[in-house]
Structure formats: C-alpha cells, structure tokens
Amino acid sequence: MACKCEPLGPIILGSNNLQTILSAAIVREKSVTTIHKDGLMDFIQSIIFNKPELKEPFYVLDMGVVVSLMDMWTRNLPSICPFYAVKCNPEPAFLGAMAALGAGFDCASQVEIETILSLGVSPDRIIYANPCKAESHIKYAASVGVNLTTFDSKEEVEKIRKHHPKCALLIRIKVDDSDAKWPLGVKFGALPEEFEPLLLAARTAKLAVCGVSFHVGSIVTDSCTYQAAIAAAKTVFDMAIRLGMPQMRMLNIGGGFTVAPQFEGSATIIKSALQEYFQNESGLTIIAEPGRFFAETPFTLVATIIGKRVRGEFREYWINDGVYGSLNYLLFDHASVDLMPLACTSNSGNPTCQGSRTYVSTVFGPTCDAIDTIVRGHQLPELQVNDWLVFKNMGAYTIAVGSNFNGFRASATKTHLAYSNQSNCRDL
C-alpha cells in the first residue's frame, strides 16, 4: 500500500483551479486577491498604499503560478507523482495549495510530518525521505501510519526494525551529483559495493525493500545525470531479483528540477531513460521529490529600504531582509539576484523608476555583520528611506533557512496571497 501512488490527472488551467485553491486547507481561512497575469507589481503597490504604516518585509505568493507549475509537471511527466519536498519552503498556504492540487509530500522530520497531516493529507501520501532519522521520529512515523522511508546504512535498518517494522523501505543510492550546484551525495546514498549487504540486512530484519531512490543534487545543469541515475537504479532492481527478494515496485527519482527551459529537457531525458531501463517492470510506481521546481517562482519578496548613505557618486542602502533572513542563498550560491526598485514613497508618480538616472549601488542586509551584503556595484535609481526593493523567484530555500540573528525575525515575515490567471485566453 505504501508502494503505490495514483498518477495525477491533467490540470486544466482556468477557474476550476481557482475554486480548488480557494477551498484548500489554510488558504480557505485567508484572503486571496485575484490579479491579472502581469499584475504582480500593481498588487504589491496596492499592499503598500493600503497600509502606509507597513514597514516590514513581506512575501507575495501567487498561487496561479503554482497551478501552472503543476500543469507543466503533469504535461511533461504524467506518470510520475510529485512528492513536494517540504524543506524547500513550508509556507502553510503553499502546502495547502499543493495538497489540494494532489501532490504528495517528502518530509524529513517529525515536525514536517505533523505539518502535512494537519492539512488533512493522508499518511500514505507522505514519504519520510530522510535516510538518517532519530529513533523518536521513527516511532512517531509508526504511530501516525507513515509507512514509507529511505535508508542507506545498516544502522538505519536496525532502528526501523525496532521501532517501525511495518515500514516499507527505499534504498537511497549515491549517484553522480558533481554537476549539481548543491550536491547531496557527500552526505547521503549507498555506494555500489554496499547495495547487496544493505538489501541482505533488510531481509534479515524482515523489512520490505520496495524500491530505490536517489537525488541528483539541487540545480542540475546537465539532465543526463538523471539518465545515469536511472540506469544505476535498474541494477539494484536486478540485484533484488538475483538475491531472491520480492520484485521491487517503486522508483523515486528525487528532486533537482528547475523550471523551464531545463525542465522540459530533463523530462524528455527521464522519460527515455525510463523507457530504456524500466519498460519491462510491471506494476511500477514512479515518484519524484521536487522542491525548488514548485517553490521558487511563485514567491516574491518585498523589502523596505531602512537606511541610506551617499558617498560621492556611490549609493549604499540598508534593507530589512538579508543573508541571515530570506537571502541566505547568496552565501552559498553566487546566483545573481533579480531585484527591482519600487520607489512608492519618493517617486510615487513613477514608482518603478522607468528612465531614471542610475547610480552604482550597494545593498546591505539589516544585521551588524559585514557579510550581510546583498549586491555590490548594482545600478539602481536614486532611492530614499521607506522606498522598497522587490526580489522575484524567492521561494526556494529562502525563508525556510532564515534565522533570527541580531533580532531580525525571518520567521515573522508575512505572506500575502494572490491568484493570477496564467492562461492568456480565459478570464477569471
């Protein structure tokens, strides 16, 4: 039972999805503003104008984008059930929307499992995908009927035997993740010479190993990585047969997906690799654990300029979010930030500062650590204290990783909910 998952039906873009989202857990208790496809900046300005006393950073979550991502997923990978990786962004309304759209969930801890169950999601739509779990968390999973997990060590087999003998297992294998921006293989995944001893240890413990999982690392640029990983998974399926164990029934291809244009290329490679290696496996369930794919683009961060310094031609600004808050990925990942000025206070006639003269500017976060710097040498128009900066595509590993360092509480950042109609041809 834990090794089955019904593929999702196609998502039809349109007003039905709006109803689905509005009645989702958590979302139904909140107010959702419907906006036009390109109406995000107007919506942000309306939030700022309606609450002039508002000076805290905030997020906008556009659930129309979530719907269109689910549509993109089911069109490209129709037979693969997405189990959204909660760690990437556990914003409650976002989780509620994902649940309403039919996703399963990848949880890594007791609190994540509790959060998902509290949305009314059935425990068989949860995979406890942390290969190394605390015993108390395993007992909790057993008590609530989360019966599918991953492992990559004999010690884990022993803990699961003791505390959750009904749990079905996926063996997490290490795959080549040298191409990923954030590799995970240094920490997780069994090595080829460990596959057989691990399968035998599970058999001795009378635990069912129902399949294989892997993670190619976060942000893969070469989609062929998936092909090699799927080929490696097939060798484990064959090994189970050779060892006289029950046929494996589940393949978990993990996360690592980014939005278009790479996504479609990855999907094509995955489908052809599945065709090549798994076409003869009957009754196979295939799942994935996308995090970034669903969370990155629906979220926009809006931060206030709280300080300014002019040094000749240079401008320096301080804003109320930074690398100890939502922008922590800047410390690890030298990705460029997508930032736009919103001079609602100093230039309300032209808040986006179209055509304004720009200055070489540095933007700092609010803490007293000098590393808390967001951009240097960036061209920005002349802005003033109480103007705003808008950061797009801010949902993946941002607020989820933020701390309360120096008393700036990332976890207190409020999220406003919007729903944009992403299809061009239909009105809401």
Active-site residues, by number, are 368
Return the amino acid letter for 267.
Answer: A
Which residue's entry shows tokens 């003269």? 357
| The amino acid at 11 | I
Nearer to ligand PLP, 86 or 208 (CB): 86
Nearer to ligand PLP, 17 or 218 (CB): 218
CB of 90 to ligand PLP, least distance (A): 12
Amino acid at 124: D
Distant-in-sequence, close-in-space partners of 374: CB < 8 Å, separation ≥ 6: 319, 322, 323, 327, 330, 337, 339, 363, 364, 365
Min CB(209)–ligand PLP separation in Å: 17
How big is the CA angle at 118 (ends 115 and 121), to the nearest 5 degrees? 100
User: From the CB of 122, what's the least distance to ligand PLP, in Å?
Assistant: 20
For the bound state, the minimum distance from the C-beta of residue 112 to ligand PLP, rounded and expressed in Å, comes to 11
Taking residue 294's Cβ as centre, other Cβ atoms within 10 Å add up to 29
- Our CB check for ligand PLP shows the closer of 166 and 187 to be 187
Q: State which residue, 13 or 287, has the beta carbon closest to ligand PLP.
A: 287
Residue facing ligand PLP at closest CB distance: 255
Q: Which residues bind ligand PLP (CB under 6 A)?
A: 85, 87-88, 106, 129, 215, 218, 254-257, 289-293
Separation of alpha carbons 286 and 283, rounded Å: 10
Q: Nearest approach, Cβ of 89 to ligand PLP (angstroms)?
A: 9
Which residue, chain included where needed, has tokens 């240097």?
A: 376
**Smallest separation, CB 104 to ligand PLP (Å):** 12
Distance CA 296, CA 312 (A): 37
Distance CA 185, CA 31 (A): 41
Q: Give CA torsion, residues 389, 394, 400, 404, to 10 deg.
A: -10
CA dist 128 → 33, 187, 323, 337, 351 (Å): 34, 17, 29, 33, 46
Cβ closest to ligand PLP, residue 220 vs residue 305: 220
Task: Work out the angle at residue 219's Cα, subtended by the Cα atoms of residues 213 and 220, and round it to the nearest 5 degrees.
Answer: 70
Q: How far is the CB of 218 from ligand PLP (least distance, A)?
A: 3
Q: Are 259 and 296 in contact (CB under 8 A)?
A: yes
Q: 163 Cβ partners below 8 Å, 6+ apart?
A: 135, 138, 139, 142
Which residue lies nearer to ligand PLP by CB, 211 or 254?
254
CA-nearest of 413, 315, 397, 325 to 366 is 325
Joined tokens for residue 175:
């795959």
